[in-house]
Amino acid sequence: MADEITSISASRLSQAIKSRNVSCVEVMQAYLERIHRYNPLYNAIVSQVDDSELLRQAEAADKALLKGEYWGWMHGMPHAIKDLADAQGLVSTYGSPIFAENVAIADSLPVARIRAQGAIFIGKTNTSEFGAGSQTYNAVYGTTRNAYNPHLTAGGSSGGAAVGLAAELLPIADGSDMMGSLRNPAGFNNVIGFRPSQGRVPSPSNETSLFYDQLATDGPMGRNTEDTIRLLGTMAGYDSRAPLSLRDKIPAHEAFSPAALENVRIGWMGDYQGYLPMEPGVASLCESALKQLTQHGATLESCMPNFEMTRLWQTWLTLRHWSWRVATPLYDNAQTKQLLKPELQWEIEGSLDTTAARIAAADKGRSDWYRALDDLFGRYNLLALPTAQTFPFSADIHWPESIDDKAMDTYHRWMEVTIGGTLAGLPVVSLPAGFDGDGRPMGIQFIGPMGADQKVLEFAMAYEAVTPHLRQRPKLAENLD
């Protein structure tokens, strides 16, 4: 019974709870049993709440149902928040020893919306330090391991969320994405990650720039498309505290229907005509997944944006460094500086000499890049790329120093394939592309036009229906071999 509860989708679980076919206490017990068995190795969920408190909350959720009180589609469901977001009463470390004892006094906006749907917060999901780097490790909680092979990286920075989903330690998961942090771990763990259109999921705070810092966004992850859509609907929506948040609404899941693949034209950008170094097998695996779509009527063509890719990388470096300017006080303080990993110190140092002229040039580059992709959407419904440039690598290294014999000159250069969707602010879904001969998962990104979140997810529904990858679940271990 416990395995059956944790294996069903969040949507089916929600209906089972609402119809009282299963109690919230039974659900909580099933998930806690699985967490205690597997989380010590995979390290997806951190800052865990005591079992007794969680079971008390689950019992309260059952009593509410008996009285006819229904809190929302996540009523009584266990949920863990990514440790970059604040959840009232839970430790929020942001993956940093500087904040190892920090307890959040309020929910961030997306978290408040999840809580309002009746979720029971069981803890946090592990992340890389301040979300920097697509490898989930930090000095507070350690390394999160890949659900399909615990010797390998989970990706990041939403690595704990992705592994929690894939290992069935969580029914659904939230995350955030600046440089592929929803997409890379989804691809590495054979789940779905969705980066919404910029402004779709507002997350204002006193530290957030309301107008200029538009690189990162919160978003949903799921074991299937339906669950991903439901959580997006929970997290999304205009808020006056975020003046650039989108005012149109994401409809209920019932309003979504799978796209007719015979009407879908896909532009395959691949490795940008040899610009991006890729591990052998990545592109071919993605192309095999695309071929399955053409067998069901989709049209596929290779394409290339009218843009110089070296300019895009420089645009990214400038804007990303600039976004780290807010962390300068941690760098200036000798005590906290020594607690920052070297890659973060490098990011902050890069912000110190960022001139207005460089920022203006980067803004122009970002604008021109958006126009280049917008031109492609005149011919294609979606643009496609691999989710990553390399398969999951050893969990014991922080980042790959080379790909296909080409040296990586920064700690995040190996994730350059993700910056296109970020800089354009467009909706991007990472869907499973399959597995290589060693059983390592890979994802494929599909980018849609600005604001077309529903269309992108309706395509994902169609993709899920004609590909088998989501049905291949991991065989978990309790110890490293």
* Residue 314 tokens, joined: 């420089």
> From CA 232, how far away is CA 479, in angstroms rounded?
35
Question: In the predicted model, what is the mean pLDDT of the chain?
Answer: 97
CB neighbours of 53 closer than 8 A, spacing ≥ 6? none
- At 452, phi and psi to the nearest 5? -90, 45
Burial of 85 (0-12, 13-18, 19+ CB in 10 A): buried
| Contact call for residues 162 and 191 (beta carbons, < 8 A) | yes
pLDDT of 1 above 90: no
Q: Quickly list DSSP for 10-46.
A: HHHHHHHHHTTSS-HHHHHHHHHHHHHHHHHHH--EE
Task: Identify the helix (H) or strand (E) that includes residue 430.
Answer: strand 428-435
> From CA 193, how far away is CA 83, in angstroms rounded?
17
CB neighbours of 448 closer than 8 A, spacing ≥ 6? 381, 382, 426, 427, 428, 455, 456, 459
pLDDT band at 209 (very low <50, low <70, confident <90, very high): confident
Q: What is the mean pLDDT of residues 218-236?
A: 98
| Contact call for residues 65 and 75 (beta carbons, < 8 A) | yes
Q: What is the mean pLDDT of residues 240-245?
A: 95
Q: What is the mean pLDDT of residues 112-129?
A: 98
Nearest to 231 by CA among 216, 218, 241: 218
Helices (H), 90-176: 109-116, 159-166
Report which DSSP code applies to 247. Answer: -
> From CA 343, how far away is CA 46, in angstroms rounded?
23
> From CA 289, how far away is CA 294, in angstroms rounded?
9
**pLDDT value of residue 10:** 98
Q: What is the mean pLDDT of residues 92-115?
A: 98
* Residue 462 tokens, joined: 């169609």
Each residue of 428-469: pLDDT tens digit?
999 999 999 999 999 999 999 999 999 999 999 999 999 999
> From CA 87, how far away is CA 107, in angstroms rounded?
4
* Residue 225 tokens, joined: 């498309």
pLDDT of 232 above 80: yes
Enumerate the β-bridge partners of residue 92.
none
pLDDT of 208 above 80: no
Dihedral sign for Cα atoms in the order 241, 246, 249, 252:
negative
- At 474, phi and psi to the nearest 5? -75, 150
**pLDDT value of residue 212:** 83
Nearest to 191 by CA among 472, 406, 426: 472
pLDDT band at 397 (very low <50, low <70, confident <90, very high): very high
Count the Cβ atoms, other than its own, within 10 Å of residue 52.
Answer: 8
Q: Going from the N-terminus, what domains does the chain have, and what CATH number goes with each?
A: 2-204+213-261+454-471 (3.90.1300.10)
**pLDDT value of residue 125:** 98
> From CA 284, how far away is CA 270, in angstroms rounded?
10
Count the Cβ atoms, other than its own, within 10 Å of residue 19.
Answer: 9
> From CA 134, how far away is CA 170, in angstroms rounded?
21
> From CA 249, how far away is CA 453, in angstroms rounded?
10
* Residue 62 tokens, joined: 């059952």
Cis-peptide, bond into residue 157, ω within 30° of zero: yes
pLDDT of 52 above 90: yes
Nearest to 471 by CA among 191, 80, 247: 191
Nearest to 110 by CA among 167, 173, 32, 185: 173
**pLDDT value of residue 459:** 99
Amino acid, single-letter form, for residue 57: Q
Each residue of 295-307: pLDDT tens digit?
999 999 999 999 9
Which position has the token pair 């990041």? 156
Region for residue 65 given its phi and psi (left: phi exceeds 0; alpha: psi -120 to 50; beta: otherwise)? alpha
| Contact call for residues 197 and 220 (beta carbons, < 8 A) | no
pLDDT of 314 above 80: yes
Report which DSSP code applies to 231. Answer: H
pLDDT of 382 above 80: yes
pLDDT band at 2 (very low <50, low <70, confident <90, very high): confident
In a 3-state reduction of DSSP, which class is residue 119?
Answer: coil
Which position has the token pair 């079992």? 51
Q: What is the mean pLDDT of residues 404-429?
A: 98
pLDDT band at 48 (very low <50, low <70, confident <90, very high): very high
| Contact call for residues 432 and 441 (beta carbons, < 8 A) | yes
Each residue of 360-375: pLDDT tens digit?
999 999 999 999 999 9
- At 242, phi and psi to the nearest 5? -125, 90
| Contact call for residues 31 and 122 (beta carbons, < 8 A) | yes
Each residue of 150-186: pLDDT tens digit?
999 999 999 999 999 999 999 999 999 999 999 999 9
Longest dimension (CA), the chain: 64
Q: What is the pTM of this model?
A: 0.98
**pLDDT value of residue 109:** 97
**pLDDT value of residue 234:** 98
Q: What is the mean pLDDT of residues 327-343?
A: 98
Q: What is the mean pLDDT of residues 50-75?
A: 98
Count the Cβ atoms, other than its own, within 10 Å of residue 82.
Answer: 30
